[in-house]
Amino acid sequence: MAAEASKRGPDGGANDLLNVSCVQHFSTGDGPGIRTTVFLKGCNLHCPWCHNPENISPLPQTLVYPQADKRVSYGRRRSVDDVAAEVLEDLEFYGLNDGTPAAQRGGLTLSGGEPLLQSAVAAVLVRTLEARGVPAVIDTAGCVRWQYFEPFLGHVQAFYFDYKTGDEQRCRELLGGDLSLIRDNLTRLLAAGEPVRVRIPLIPGVNTDIAAIEQICAQLTAAGAGSVDLLPFHRLGSGKYAALGIDYAYKNTPPPGADVIDAARKKYEQYFDCRVE
Amino acid sequence: MLFSSQQIDTTAGLKAEFKNKPDGQFRPDIFRVSGYEKGAADPALSTTVRRALAIRSLFTEPGAYIYKNDLIAGSIRPMFVVPDDAQNAAAAKYAAEFPERWFANNSDHYAPDYRTAVETGIPGLLQKINESKQTHQNEPQKVDFLDSMAITLEALIEKFRQYAAKTDELLRGLRNGDPAAEGYDKGRLEFIKANCEALTRGAPQTFAQGLQLVWMLHHCFVCEGRYAMALGRIDQYLYPLFRADLNRGQTTDTEAEALLANAFAKICETRFRGGDDVVNICIGGVDTDGALAVNELSYCTLRAVRDVNMPGPNLSARIAPGTPDAFLDECLKVIGTGLGYPALMNDAVNMAALRRYGYAEEDVRNYCMVGCIENFMQGQQPPWSDGRFDPINYLEKLFLEPDDDIADMAEFMKRYEKQLEKAVEDYVNATRAAAFVPDPENQTMPFMSCFCQDCIDRGLDINMGGAKYPSVHGAALMGVGTVSDSLAAIEKLVFEEKAVTLSEFAAALKDNYEHYPELRAKALAAPKYGNNDPFVDKYAVWYTQYISDLFRNYRTNDGGGYYTAMAANISNIYAGAGLGATPDGRLAGRPLSDAASPTYGCDTRGVTSTLLSVSKPDYSNCACGTVVNQKFTPSAFVDGKREKLLKLIRVYFERGGQEIQINSTSRETLKDAMEHPENYPSLVVRVSGFSALYVTLAREVQEDILSRTQHEEL
């Protein structure tokens, strides 16, 4: 493990440490079963609706909530062993030995930020846990070089692959990302037979109109995707923006109504196995 | 089906009828007067017979009341009166002459032997009393007590006759267009009449008759003024009748559910006299042979409590290792409605705890609960009693005269243990004194004794050796979180880091940390129970073991066990109100940690860590029971998510957790949390890729969640 862990981390940080934002136990929305979600700090996109703004910068940050008399610090360099030990505390909850089928077991979810920016060290974590039978889900926006995926191939329970827009210009301007890179990565993952769930945040004004949905459907079909999860926008993160002292562009945007969600679901269902989270 | 769906869907109708509250006061003492007066006329009568005569007038004078929506009858409405001065004076005179026992000396919080009652019927019990009189014919005191029991059962039969007569009156009224009968249903009245009449003649022959008998008995205990009388294992003792009905094609699950809901709804009648009752109903578990006991009636009971959807019926589900997931899932569905029931009990731990007290194995398997969570041998021991024991107070004593010569934590713990040893002895002496009744033959409970093994056979009162097992007392240990966190802070700051001496700490506590903000910050930053941190968790393990061991050295007045509990209701608030600052950083007057839970808001790593910590103590030490509260937002209870809660509970129980009480936060709670964030430090909102403490959310976002909650309500 030591040899592998000494590979240089792509975030340019300390090469055998993970830049961990926080660890969330008993996550119920981040994969099958009971998950322990490790949020890694730092992202190469800047989606204006992001609900985890504290995970965009790789630097440590403290959020101050005066109304709740609370300060929460995010961002700590932690060794793989340290993080693995914390994930393994929940070992019994993952259902590894109770007859639960492999695809439905709980385990680690790597989220962020963009966890693949710390690909090399994160892969050591995933393999360390894999050796103990703990499966991993990688929650990625997919806008990284293909090499960052490689160490995980054949070693994860699922890639939760975000697909936010099918519009290249919008992707560049709103997210700061290269859609063709995202699309190529998705295509390659699916071609390699990796387990992938495409996740689409339903963002009002961005990707909820039928034309935008049709565009995404066409690209996902071309990439070979079979299933999508729809994640309706919520503004739960707006308290975090306030605590960071940043203005949140979406603070006045209410979540999409049931009619909008329903229309989107019906459209996606024409092409994919679709579920709304 | 006996009824049309319209006829059996009665819960809403009953609730509407409850809105019309009776005038006057709930006054059992007023209705006892004429019985006592009759007794006074004959100086040869013993006190127990005179008490029985008072019970007879109490049961039979108020008369019958039947709700328009009743399927199962028995109402406390006629017990409400507006007495005049003379009546009050007479009641007071007899109350002084014939004092009733109370909670501290075993008067209520009792689960009657409904199994025998249902199998035997009231006439059958009278027959048994007669046989016992023959056996004891040369023991006049026993014969006398048996006579007093018989008087109360005959009064009960009279009560059934009164209810049957009342249905006759209403049926006549229906035929004659009498306005008093308006809104009554002929089919339901005839059903009640037939059931009540059958019960005057013999043992119940149908599920409905069995339930009518049990409900009327419960109603009689409430008439006696008793509180927290449990129904116990209703899915077991009524099952043979239910099964027989099913086999004959005479009932359905829907009908059983409706009948149960109709009876349970009337538990809420106690609101007429202010406040909810706590009527424990126990489902699931194993049977007396140890086989899994969940049956169709367990599900009917669960759904009936959900249908009633009011506090009062306090549902407990015994979860054995093999209890089907389907049943646990059904429990979670009911919890997800926001009701908070059933409390989930780990059968394996509870039975291991009870085995320490020498009960027969088949009785251990047949345990139920009284009150909130107190484990009880149904119909086999005198009524429950308990009290509050505050271990933190004796830690405080070590800071009154702090000794800086204490070299290490081990020595500190020895000093604390010594304090506790004495404190437990004092507690036991005080509670034994409170439970002591100098002339028990003058404070008999002849009616209740009819429903306790083996009072009839022995011809003895439930509190005088009639019961199969002796009385037990539960010491509710307060503040395991506060004590553990305090000991961890002392170990860390005084002995490990040597950041402060005991006398400096003592000065800071006395000062309520006012001039010691830095020390308080350090105390707050010390390891806290509930984060799966062995440094502090070891103290909870010690607390549970050490204090329970101390209590096991003692016996109640009649030789029963001193159980321990970690359950608080809201006593942790009272226990904290009178207490100074504590070494964990808690300020004076603030609540102690609740029940067996970590200090509120201090378990910051998520529910898996909380449960990993909380399952470390050996709860087979706590025969009374423990309570761990957890709150989840309604989204945790939807299809596809419940299985995660289910797994969480299974693992927690496999690890030896004893109980978990899960709450689905209602809209009201979420609203309250917006106004009083300080009371909800741990409430988590979970969605994909995100979770946040509710109180840190912006107000408009909290509004979003509120509107979501409305949609998600099951």
Taking the C-alpha atoms of residue B74 and residue B219, their distance in angstroms, rounded to an integer, is: 6
The pLDDT, as a whole number, for residue A239 is: 87
Q: Which residues of B325-338 are buried (b: 16+ CB within 10 A; e: fewer)?
A: eebbebbbbbbbbb
In the predicted model, is pLDDT for residue A13 greater than 60? Answer: no
Looking at the fold, whether B677 and B599 belong to one and the same domain comes out as no
State in words which class domain A2-276 has.
alpha beta
The stretch A172-184 carries a mean pLDDT of: 96
pLDDT bin (cut points 50, 70, 90) of residue B705 is: confident
Picking from B224, B250, B283, the residue at the C-terminal end of a domain is B224
Between CA B68 and CA B182 the distance in angstroms is 9
Is the CB of A34 less than 8 angstroms away from the CB of B687? Answer: no
Could you tell me where the beta strands, DSSP code E, fall in B145-236? none
What is the mean pLDDT of the segment spanning A104-121?
A: 97
B539 and B681, same domain (yes or no): no
Within a domain: B645: no
pLDDT confidence of B693, banded at 50, 70, 90?
confident
Q: What is the mean pLDDT of the segment spanning A251-263?
A: 92
What's the average model confidence in pLDDT over A102-115?
A: 96
What percentage of chain A has pLDDT greater than the value 90?
86
Picking from A163, A144, A156, A171, the residue whose alpha carbon sits closest to that of residue A227 is A163
The residue out of B224, B250, B276 marking a domain boundary is B224
How close does chain B come to A82, measured CA to CA in Å?
Answer: 14
Q: Distance between CA B589 and CA B573 in Å, rounded?
A: 8
CB neighbour class for B587 (10 Å; exposed up to 12, middle 13-18, buried from 19) = middle
- pLDDT higher than threshold 50 for residue A10: no
**Bond from prior residue into A113 cis (ω within 30 degrees of 0):** yes
Is there a single domain that holds both residue B500 and residue B605?
yes
Contact A111 B689 (CB under 8 A): yes
* B532-583 residue pLDDT tens: 999 999 999 999 999 999 999 999 999 999 999 998 878 888 899 999 999 9
Give the burial class of B284: count Cβ atoms within 10 A of its Cβ; 0-12 exposed, 13-18 middle, 19 or more buried.
Answer: buried
What gap in Å lies between CA A113 and CA A11, rounded to an integer? Answer: 12
Residue B631, pLDDT score: 84
Q: Does residue B563 sit in the same domain as residue B694?
A: no
Q: Indicate the number of domains in chain B.
A: 3
Q: What is the ipTM of this complex?
A: 0.90
* B626 pLDDT above the threshold of 60: yes
> Which residues of chain A neighbour B648 with C-beta distances below 8 Å?
26, 34, 93
B316 within some domain: no
* Residue B82 vs residues A70, B26, B79, B273, B567: alpha-carbon distances, Å: 55, 9, 10, 13, 38
B691 contact A CB<8A: yes
Best probe of the A interface among B630, B690, B694, by most A CBs < 10 A, is B690
pLDDT in tens, B329-361: 999 999 998 887 899 999 999 999 999 999 999
What is the extent of the structural domain holding B584? 395-567+574-627
pLDDT at B6 > cutoff 90: no
Mean pLDDT value of segment A223-242? 92
**In this structure, is residue B621 part of a structural domain?**
yes
Whether A232 contacts A199, CB under 8 Å: no
Structural domain includes residue B231: no
Say yes or no to pLDDT of A15 above 70: no
List the single residue in B532, B608, B701 with the smallest CB-CB distance to A236.
B701
Q: Of A122-131, A164-173, B273-282, give the lowest mean pLDDT range.
A: B273-282
Tell me the per-residue pLDDT of A141-162, one tens digit each, with 9 for 90 and over: 999 999 999 999 999 999 999 9
Nearest to A93 among B605, B647, B678 (CB): B647
pLDDT single digits (tens) B373-388:
999 999 999 999 999 9
The answer to whether the CB of B23 falls within 8 A of the CB of B82 is yes
For residue B685, the model assigns a pLDDT of 72
Does residue B618 fall inside a structural domain? yes
Closest CA to A123 of A80, A82, A87, A94: A80
Q: At B564, phi and psi to the nearest 5?
A: -115, 155
State how far the Cα of A35 lies from the Cα of B655, in Å rounded to an integer: 19
* Predicted pLDDT of residue B375: 98
Q: Are residues B620 and B688 in the same domain?
A: no
- Give the Cα separation of A192 and A184 in Å (integer): 12
Cβ of A92 and B711 within 8 Å? no
Q: What is the mean pLDDT of chain B?
A: 94
Residue type, B271: R
For residue B367, being part of any structural domain is answered with: no
Cα B426 to Cα B24, B171, B404, B419, B545, distances in angstroms: 43, 61, 28, 11, 19
Chain segment B463-506, per-residue pLDDT in tens: 999 999 999 999 999 999 999 999 999 999 999 999 999 999 99
Q: Cα separation of A276 and A141, whole Å? A: 18
Mean of per-residue pLDDT scores for chain A: 92
Position B635 scores a pLDDT of 84
- Residue A72: which H helix or E strand, with range? strand A70-74
Residue B556 and residue B688 in one domain: no
B691: pLDDT confidence band, cut at 50, 70 and 90? low
Predicted confidence (pLDDT) at residue B75 exceeds the cutoff of 80: yes
d(CA B517, nearest CA chain A) in Å: 16
Q: Are residues B600 and B704 in the same domain?
A: no
Under DSSP, the state recorded for A15 is: T
CB pairs under 8 A between A and B: 119
**Which amino acid is located at B245 in the chain?**
D
Q: Rounded to an integer, what distance in angstroms lies between the CA atom of residue B310 and that of residue B676?
A: 25
Sheet holding B279-284, edge to edge: B279-284, B313-319, B343-346, B659-664, B629-632
Of the partner residues B648, B687, B696, the one whose CB lies closest to the CB of residue A26: B648
Asked if residue B651 belongs to a domain, the reply is no
pLDDT at B7: 86
